[in-house]
Amino acid sequence: MSTQTREQMQQQLDQEQHDFSDMQSRHFSVRARMALENEALRKSFRGASDFLMNKRRSVFSDDNALQSLRDRGEAIRQYSLSKLPQLLETLEKNLTANGIQVHWAETATEACEIIHGILADNNARTVVKGKSMVTEEIELNHYLEEKGIECLESDMGEYLVQLAGETPSHIIMPAIHKNTAQIARLMHGRAQSSSGEPVPYTEDVDELIGNARAILREKFEKADAGISGVNMAVANTGTLCLVENEGNGRMTTTVPDLHIAVTGIEKVVEDFSHVPELLTLLTRSATGQKISTYFNMISAPRKAGELDGPQQVHLVLVDNGRSKIFSHPTLKPTLQCIRCGACMNHCPVYARIGGHAYGSTYPGPIGQVVTPQIGGLEKHGDMVSACSLNGACGEACPVRIPLPALIRELRHEANRIPTRDDSAVSGQGVKRSASEALIWRGWALAHSSPWLFRTMMWLLTRSRPLFRTALVTRLLSPWTDSRTTPLPQTKTLHELARAHGVASELKSHNETGAQR
Amino acid sequence: MNEPLFVDAASGSARRQYPGRPSAVYLMGTCLVDGFYADAGLDAIRLLQAEGLEVIFPQSQTCCGQPAYNSGYDDEARRVARQQLQAFAADIPLVVMMGSCTGMMIKEYPQLFAGQPEEQQALDLAARTFELGEFLVNVLQLHTRLAEAQDQSAMRLALHVSCSSRRSLGVAEDHQTLMQNLPGVHLVEPQRASECCGFGGTFAVKQADISATMAADKASAIADTGAQRLVSADCGCLMNISGTMKKQGKGIASQHLASLLYQRLHGQGGQA
Amino acid sequence: MNSRDRILQRLRSSADAPRPDPLQTPCDWPLPERSEWLALFRQNLSDNHAEVIECDDNNWPELVASVLAEKGVSVLRSGNHAEGRLLVDSVSAMLDAACITGEQSKETLFHQIDAGFSVATAGLAETGSLVIVTGANEPRTLSLVPPLNIVLLRASAMVANFSQLVAQGRMPSPMPTNVLLISGPSKTADIQQTLAYGAHGPKQLVVILVMDI
């Protein structure tokens, strides 16, 4: 049991919420440092990353089978993207024939307006939401709340995060940054039954879930509308597919009379024969499950004679920068993503700073690739440097998105002289500073001239004694803040090689290298 | 040499084809080795010479260009890369002392020079470029002759394989094979061995706090194994981890893989 | 031009040449052997906290009755299919209320029904999944809202996995309003990766596996 009173917990929760918004208003490097200094947070992320990596490994025990499945997954996603405009039209045609109304939104604001319009037309005042990253991306909750519509997240993690006044820190496990004790305080301090009673304090996970279940079931029963995401949309049949474990997605799409599904335009596949491999890649990569508890395939609103299901189903197709990503010659594979989160689970940087430090809807490697392209390098250019290019994300990606190469490409976009091409990432060249460009130009000069290079390295080795001084240690900060000062050797390898008579050139050029 | 380029190590497809034992090879020390690990470079030269190879060390070699490339300065990287195309022009294998530089030359040069006059040159170089450990195992089969090592004293050893060697090149097993076959060496595996040490070139400077945290975790994991020595074929990682360990007061010596091999095989050289 | 046309125009202007059929890309993901299907199916479901009860074409209503008794079910609703009608007939005497679902209020659905009975049209061995094709006679909420969900599956309807189901053309065509794959009771691991069952949907799933092969 906790030694705090409910009032004390509420004060602490208010403080934490305040700290969260304070953190979100800071610069990337500050957010990262704040996260690194937060022991509890780091422990949560380390534990979660280890857990999820092990779970994934357990369902991919045969590496050849995994690689083969990834080949297929990549081929399906690339095929789908290569036919994207046609598939979207086919999808629209078939959904419409099935009775599902299709809407197109170019921007986040337009998507919010469309959704609000549908709700207003139906006098919907209360909305339950299934998990949907794209509605986080367009900041739908905020928009609807300003219009006086109650918008309740029903995925357990999303519910907890909403209760705390925060945003998700992971695309699959939104409350991954909180430990059980923090959630116990949150539920007791802020959750209320319909009669306004606080829920009793408990740290028992089954009880915590039971309490949230009771509150949310009432909301499902009463809600005017349900808003969900979509994991895959099948063009040939006009089907919306949703992957979930909790049942809240099914509740959201089945119980209220109105269902609005929202998806990015890239989620379409041509045929049902393309679905099974993507599904198995998705659940295995995300949470190490062979399959999720529910795979929910919706093709129509309630038909005559059917006893349940919404009377109206709408699909809002959101562009919000995706068609621009589509036009970029090298960044296009960004759109292959199936939003499994494996890249963040395997990212050593994410494991240390967590999702909120990125300050964006999508954190981790895929977030570093998507966010600057949607929101611009001006605002999100810093996060692309938060990558050691170690490749763990690319290795885990079920559809083989070359994430490290894309992050590097975005560094190039951020630092290059702006081209003003239509496909240029917004904020192209924003990180280019005259001094840094000059340094690299000088660096290139020194390293493309053997003589200059040898002279420079000679000087480096001859200044070895200086490297023992506090001055150099200070100059080499921040490297030396946590490491000893590296010490050059007394002679360069170029010198040693020459001194030992190692040839600089091959004597006879007609000699072949290998004895075959 | 017209072997196909590396397929992604993680793709599970067949490994690259290896040539027979050559009579001569190029050695690329890399810029980091040149200034900070020159002894290890000399050990690599001696190791290859002891294998009966003529080693060519072009005095015109500088750096692979990776620092600029990974920072997004493609033109600058290309300029430096062009210099290496010239330095290693003859059709003999190129052995590189660092995994990340090897990866740069094998994977990125063809991209960097795509559509440029040097494209074919870049492809040719990529096909005959090998990471040191990879070359020792797959071309020279050195791991089969380690039983004759002169120094067989007992040593508890931790091996760190760089992310480039592990993921981009897929040669982690080669490094492990070499260490496991060294008589007297007891190889220990640190927790989360495959995780990045936090070096990442300019990452260590641009995101110094994150990098330092990753390095500290790596140093602790290695210290926890009770290893007497840390070995790696990547000097970036080595400098990062050993610098962190020393700052933390952990007395674990560190050494380049080439030095350890030369020292144990021939009983000399190889300063730890 | 409206948003739709502008989006499509932008996509069309930078579309690549069509890629080859992705199903031509080899995929060596192993299919489980037919001889292992039933064992694998049972194992997967029990790993996911579901109960699997084997029975035959004659005794299954009795076995369901004993499950209902054991779990203290007093109100049961079923879809309107032969199996459901048979079950309702055989258990109506012992329960307070057992009937085929008709029009009902959400209040009734959420607060008065202990168990829902559904029939699966296929089973997927590799993942332990039940394929449920909903419609007028198989309401969507029956397998969702009541705390206990009982699903009958004939062993003869088992296939290796979802890929095989689709490849053999066994997905309904045209697609009905809603098709489901169900692979256990509802669950969540959103609190510090600790699994808890009965998140929003059923807390328990009982699979009645009729051994008709």
Q: What is the DSSP letter of C155?
A: G
Out of C29, C106, C185, name the one closest to residue A221 (CB).
Answer: C106
d(CA C93, CA C84) in angstroms, rounded, equals: 15
In 3-state terms, what secondary structure has residue A192?
strand
Q: Is the pLDDT of residue A516 over 70?
A: no
| H or E, element range at A296 | strand A294-298
pLDDT tier at A1 (50, 70, 90 boundaries)? low
CA atoms within 13 A on the CB side of B182: 30
CATH number, domain containing residue C203: 3.40.50.10420
Do A411 and B29 make contact, defined as CB atoms within 8 angstroms? no
For chain C, how many structural domains are there in total?
1
Average of per-residue pLDDT values in chain B: 92
Residues paired with residue A315 on neighbouring β-strands, in sequence order = A102, A261
d(CA A174, CA A166) in angstroms, rounded, equals: 10
The strand pair at A239-244 and A294-298 is best described as: antiparallel
pLDDT digits (tens, 9 = 90+) for A174-220: 999 999 999 999 999 999 988 889 999 999 999 999 999 999 999 99
d(CA A267, CA A262) in angstroms, rounded, equals: 11
Out of A290, A296, A309, name the one closest to residue C180 (CB).
Answer: A296
CA distance A444 to chain C (A): 35
Q: Is the pLDDT of residue A77 over 60?
A: yes
Cis before B67 (ω within 30): no
Quote ipTM for the complex: 0.97
The domain A84-318 having CATH identifier 3.40.50.10420: the answer here is yes
- Domain-embedded: residue C83: yes
pLDDT digits (tens, 9 = 90+) for A473-493: 999 999 999 999 999 999 999
Do C162 and A279 make contact, defined as CB atoms within 8 angstroms? yes
State the pLDDT at residue A420.
80
In 3-state terms, what secondary structure has residue C54?
strand
Do B19 and A516 make contact, defined as CB atoms within 8 angstroms? yes
Q: Is the pLDDT of residue B3 over 60?
A: no
pLDDT tier at B13 (50, 70, 90 boundaries)? very low
* Chain A residues 449-478 with CB within 8 Å of chain B: 449-450, 453-454, 457, 460-461, 478
CA distance A499 to chain C (A): 55
Residue of C nearest to A89 (CA): C8
Which residues from A are below 8 Å from B77, CB to CB?
444
Do C180 and A221 make contact, defined as CB atoms within 8 angstroms? no
Return the beta strands (E) in A31-183 as ranges: 101-105, 126-129, 150-153
- Domain-embedded: residue C13: no
State the pLDDT at residue A508.
63
Do A303 and C177 make contact, defined as CB atoms within 8 angstroms? yes
In 3-state terms, what secondary structure has residue C27?
coil
DSSP assignment of B150-208, as one string? S----EEEEEE--HIIIIIS--HHHHHHHHHTSTTEEEE--TTTTS--S-TTTHHHHTH
pLDDT tier at B269 (50, 70, 90 boundaries)? low
pLDDT tier at A422 (50, 70, 90 boundaries)? confident
| H or E, element range at A147 | none
Q: Which chains pack against A, by 3+ Cβ pairs within 8 A? A: B, C
Q: Which chains pack against C, by 3+ Cβ pairs within 8 A? A: A
pLDDT digits (tens, 9 = 90+) for B179-195: 999 999 999 999 999 99
Nearest of C57, C44, C47, C67 to residue C206 by alpha carbon: C67
The dihedral built from the CA positions of residue B81, B84, B85 and B91, taken in this order, carries a sign that is negative
Average pLDDT over residues B123-142: 97
Which residues from B are below 8 Å from A416, CB to CB?
72, 74
Fold held by B143-266 = Rossmann fold (3.40.50)
Tokens of A337: 């993503």
Do B71 and A491 make contact, defined as CB atoms within 8 angstroms? no
Do B57 and A503 make contact, defined as CB atoms within 8 angstroms? yes
For the stretch A32-35, contacts whose Cβ atoms lie closer than 8 Å and that sit 24 or more positions apart, written own/partner, are A32/A353, A32/A357, A32/A386, A32/B207, A32/B209, A32/B210, A33/B209, A34/A357, A35/A352, A35/A353, A35/A354, A35/A356, A35/A357
Do A68 and C26 make contact, defined as CB atoms within 8 angstroms? yes
Which residues from A are below 8 Å from B89, CB to CB?
none
pLDDT digits (tens, 9 = 90+) for A304-361: 999 999 999 999 999 999 999 999 989 999 999 999 999 999 999 999 999 999 999 9
The architecture (CATH level 2) of B23-138 comes to: 3-Layer(aba) Sandwich (3.40)
Out of A72, A292, A307, name the one closest to residue C103 (CB).
Answer: A307
Q: How many CB pairs under 8 A join A and C?
A: 268
Where does CATH 3.40.50.10420 sit in chain A? Answer: 84-318
Structural domain boundaries enclosing C179:
32-187+198-210
Domain-by-domain residue ranges, chain B?
23-138, 143-266
Out of C6, C22, C202, name the one closest to residue A79 (CB).
Answer: C22
Are C166 and C129 in contact by the 8 Å Cβ rule? The answer is no
Which residues from A are below 8 Å from C18, CB to CB?
79, 82-83
pLDDT digits (tens, 9 = 90+) for B20-71: 999 999 999 999 999 999 999 999 999 999 999 999 999 999 999 999 999 9
